[in-house]
Amino acid sequence: MQLTHTIAIHMSAAILAVAIGPVALWARRGTTQRPRVHRAFGYAWVTLMLVAAVSAIFIRDYRLPNIEGFTPIHLLIPVTLGTLFTAFWFLLRGNINGHRKSMQRLYIGACLVAGAFTLLPGRYLGQLVWGQWLGLL
């Protein structure tokens, strides 16, 4: 696999989502809440997650176990979109706790856990990171 425009868009959105997600979550924690920061970073994070999920539809890998180029990690696309929908549905219903839990779980699952899987040696990003790092030794 090589770096295409789609992969570059997907990777950029995902890396930025990993970086700004904690700010959105942190802004509503503790005794000092920052609703403007939470809302601004939250909307940015949701936008980045939508870009990452939609762009992932167009990334295919025929080397790994797949069905028409879709690998098991592609199952995160409907999970991500469904969780975002559910989180805003909770928010519109006034269920702040449900919204919070949905967003926290999505950050942990789609950003941290899925991000860790992309760093495996057989994956494209894993080859970039570990191949370069191991080449320095």
pLDDT tens over the chain, length 137 residues: 688 999 999 999 999 999 999 999 999 876 777 889 999 999 999 999 999 999 999 988 777 788 888 888 889 999 999 999 999 999 999 999 999 999 999 999 999 999 888 888 777 788 887 776 666 54
Query: Whole-angstrom Cα distance, residue 106 to residue 35?
Result: 20
Structural domain including 63 reads: 5-136
Give the C-alpha distances (Å, rounded to integers) separating 1 from 9, 61, 63, 68, 76: 15, 8, 9, 15, 20
Q: Is 30 left (phi over 0), alpha (psi -120 to 50) or beta?
A: left
Task: Report the domain count for the chain.
Answer: 1
Query: Whole-angstrom Cα distance, residue 76 to residue 56?
Result: 9
Asked whether 121 and 127 are in contact (CB, 8 A), the reply is yes
Name the token pair of 50: 């939508």
